[in-house]
Chains A and B, each alone.
Chain A
Amino acid sequence: MSEITLQIDGREVKAEEGMTILEAAQSAGISIPTLCHHEKLEPYGACRICTVEIEAHGRTNLVAACLYPVEQNLVVRTRSEKVDKTRKVLLELMLAHAPDAAALQDLAQEYGADKARFGKESSFCILCGLCVRYCAEVKKKNAIGFVDRGTRREVIFIPEITSKECWDCKECFPLCPTEALQATFLLTKALMSPSPPSAPESEE
């Protein structure tokens, strides 16, 4: 593998071909926020919070750091006025789902995001896909998946698989950046048990 030199936030950083900007930054101790990234999983590119500004081939562009492959002489800015402003709005959209999620609090503070800027959304889930991908890629069980598209998209447990696999696993739970997975799981469990306890009709 050949070595590549690039510039991140004014610092010269060495990286190997095939690495992403995120990996190169991490190896140099430069932090870029992520919400849908996980070392064990294929890059996904859904939360977009890792978006950074790059200069390559004479053009400035905004790209997802968790996906973009490093190139020789690439110039990366992990923060800029534009990036910061845009991350703020992006966070506000996620906070509308999960205003109290631990994973969002520090970021909200750093970027000055207002958790009440948009009305509270009914679901906690930000559809980062960590649970779905972990179950599919690591556990290979596909007990949880996406349904529907657009603004109606959501995550559901597949009852038949869940009843067999999830009880003793629950490995995806700690990955969830919001309370959504727990809530969805409890709901599924409630719906699956023969005499449902007085659980809410739905999470919404």
Chain B
Amino acid sequence: MPRINSPAELEELRKDILSKRDPNRPCITLCSGTACHASGSEEVAASIEEEIKKQGLSAEVDFRKTGCHGFCEKGPIIVIHPEKICYLQIEPKDVPEIISQTIKEKKVIERLLYTDPTTNKKVVHEFEIPFYKNQERLVFGSNGKIDPKSIDDYLALGGYSALAKALSQMSPEQVLEEVKKSNLRGRGGGGFPVGRKWEECRNAPGEIKYVIVNADEGDPGAYMDRSLLEGNPHSVLEGLIIGAYAIGSHEGYIYVRQEYPLAVENVDIAIKQAEEYGLLGKNIFGSGFDFTVKVHRGAGAFVSGESSALMTALEGRVGEPRPKYIHTVIKGVWDKPSNLNNVETWATVPLIINKGADWFRGIGTEGSKGTKIFSLVGKVNNTGLVEVPMGMTLREIIFNIGGGIRDGKKFKAVQTGGPSGGVIPEKYIDLPIDFDELAKAGSMMGSGGMIVMDEDTCMVDTARYFLNFLAHESCGKCVPCREGIKQMLNILTDITEGRGEKKDIELLEEVAAMVKDFSLCALGTTAPNPVLSTLKYFQDEYVAHIEQKRCPAYVCKALVSYYIDPEKCQACMICLRQCPVGAISGGKNQIHIIDQAKCTKCNTCFEVCPPRFSAVRRLSGEPVPPPVKDRVLARRKG
């Protein structure tokens, strides 16, 4: 590969790449992200390659394996360009038809298209699918267009032009000013103003400074950082180099969790390619600016993503948070000024440099500019990664993009911000989502996790679930976090298992306040959020559990009983056959009865009893009526 020595040479190379590409030539793109890989995209890729050859189309069709498109539950995903025909859940057996019909004959294959669950209509083009249509994919959008292992694909889309602009037309101070003016805030959790952090690091005394990418992504429900690194690693690198230039750093680290092998592979390749083109290394674009970057593979624990823990780990020590009364921008890795930003934050930087701070400020809300990628999961029809402008309402995200609640159930709450985030109840469905609004509502942006909950969710159990995660993921160093989480978890477990006492709510509040105020790092100071937010919005559920031993959502098994209504049972024996523990007695013409001592509360009978009978009932907070004596079914006419 030739070295690129100037912005002009970059432009030439780009034109050269484009001249060899015909935009009207059919191109099959196949998602090869981690999720689609798991659902078989490797096999699909093999058959596409084979079939193109077999049908003699090698010279007429391009094939490209891309990164994650965000709609992973529908993977493997194929998009055929230039029309952008989108096929979902592709199997190898579908491939010959796709090549012969769609590529050769230009015919759309109905059965592979997306079906809108509300209208039952088929949707042909990717951009018309509601999941995509209502997004604004500024940062994430290129994922579906490029092969992450090809720097030329990135260059063809204008890649590294922001770096060229920064290095050739702007001073480091000007870059810094532009980012400050953009009001970009960190996407990794805290929402700290990026420009201010860069400035502090730039002004910190010392020759050696580090810039670091945080790709630990410890929140188990979020994977936007993985998808960006896997699918568009050069965008992160480009942002990092620009940041390094502004800060005056010549060494960078990318901290990736071990569990992300494809991200590590693609980043390694990207670094090598950038080095070969001279976009990393000495005298980048002939500007005199030098920068190198190394990948550090970290053991993925939730707390390793915390900035001081991450920096300790980079030094080769146990990744444990340490007090940060002296900021890491002044004394970070090896006590040198160190600037850490999240993957998505870095990937946003080239856009700001290319299009300007004013353009960026035109998107989003007063306090939060630009877009944010959310990981939309839970009880919504469409799950996946969604990128939307800050300020979009929960309703728009959940209903327009997410397609509403599954199985026609009722929306109850959404949990945002990862394990130490909070829940937001239905009455805030029109809340515009940004850093400040989420914090005001008692939750946070955090990693961008968004878990949608329906009416069948118990809020006390939800709090217990997250506290249990945090009990394992706290590093255990400081007393408030370690012991406080443990006690809150004990209390929540007691409440969900019917041992709750009246004093528990006050006790929870007291412990939560202590953990929030006294903990050493932000894992501890945010850990009470799941408890405090559910107490704030769903205190009635706590009271029901404690005072009536009743779980309103019928989730807490210790508080729920299953009962067959003798008036309704038709003795069809369906439940009897399916009960996994043989707790149901009955027979032909004999009213069925559940042996309460044997029942494990698995919910099966409730689900299988035919809706026209609806004989199985869930009881909570009330005694189970005694079994009927006369079990012979008096045949009701019907």
Contacts and interface: CB of A to CB of B under 8 A. Distances in A.
Interface string A143-162: 00010111111000000000
B572 interface: no
Contact of B485 (A126, A146, A151): A151
A48 B325 contact: no
B507 to A, nearest CB: 8
Interface in A18-69: 43, 45-49, 51, 62-64, 67-69
11 contacts: A43-B323, A46-B479, A69-B325, A86-B517, A89-B511, A93-B483, A93-B487, A129-B477, A149-B472, A149-B475, A150-B471
A151 B476 contact: yes
B490 A150 contact: no
A158 to B, nearest CB: 15
Contacts of B482: 127, 150-151, 153
A150 B474 contact: yes
B472 A151 contact: yes
Chain A, interface size: which category?
A: 35 or more
Nearest to A67: B323
Contact of A151 (B325, B471, B511): B471
Contact of B476 (A45, A67, A153): A153
A152 B476 contact: yes
Interface residues of chain B: helix, strand, loop or mixed (majority): helix
A194 interface: no
Interface residues of chain A: helix, strand, loop or mixed (majority): loop
B192 to A, nearest CB: 15
Interface in B219-274: none
B125 interface: no
Contacts of A119: 490
Given A48-B518, A89-B510, A64 B479 contact: no
A8 to B, nearest CB: 17
B33 interface: no
A82 interface: yes
Contacts of A82: 517
B302 to A, nearest CB: 10
Nearest to B513: A86
A67 B489 CA distance: 29
B412 to A, nearest CB: 29
A151 B507 CA distance: 19
B487 A46 contact: no
A94 interface: yes
B477 A94 contact: no
A112 to B, nearest CB: 13
Contacts of A94: 479, 483
B181 interface: no
Contacts of A64: 323, 520
A46 B322 CA distance: 10
B520 A48 contact: yes
B487 A48 contact: no
Contacts of B571: none
B13 interface: no
A96 interface: yes
Nearest to A35: B479
Given A90-B514, A93-B484, A119-B490, A47 B479 contact: yes
B520 A45 contact: yes
A46 B483 contact: no
Contacts of B511: 89, 93
A126 B325 contact: no
B325 A150 contact: no
A97 B476 CA distance: 15
Which has the most chain B C-beta neighbours within 10 Å: A43, A51, A89, A97? A89
Which has the most chain B C-beta neighbours within 10 Å: A94, A97, A117? A117
A127 B479 contact: yes
Interface in B167-186: none
Interface string B504-525: 0001001101100111100000
A46 B518 contact: no
B410 to A, nearest CB: 35
Nearest to B520: A45
A56 to B, nearest CB: 11
Given A68-B325, A151-B485, A93 B479 contact: yes
Contacts of A150: 470-476, 482, 485
Contact of A46 (B478, B484, B485): B478
B530 to A, nearest CB: 16
Contacts of B474: 149-151
A45 B510 contact: no
A149 B301 contact: yes
Please name the 4 residue pairs, one residue from A and one from B, whose CB atoms are nearest each other, closest first.
A153-B476, A93-B483, A89-B514, A151-B486
Contact of A86 (B473, B490, B518, B520): B518
B480 interface: yes
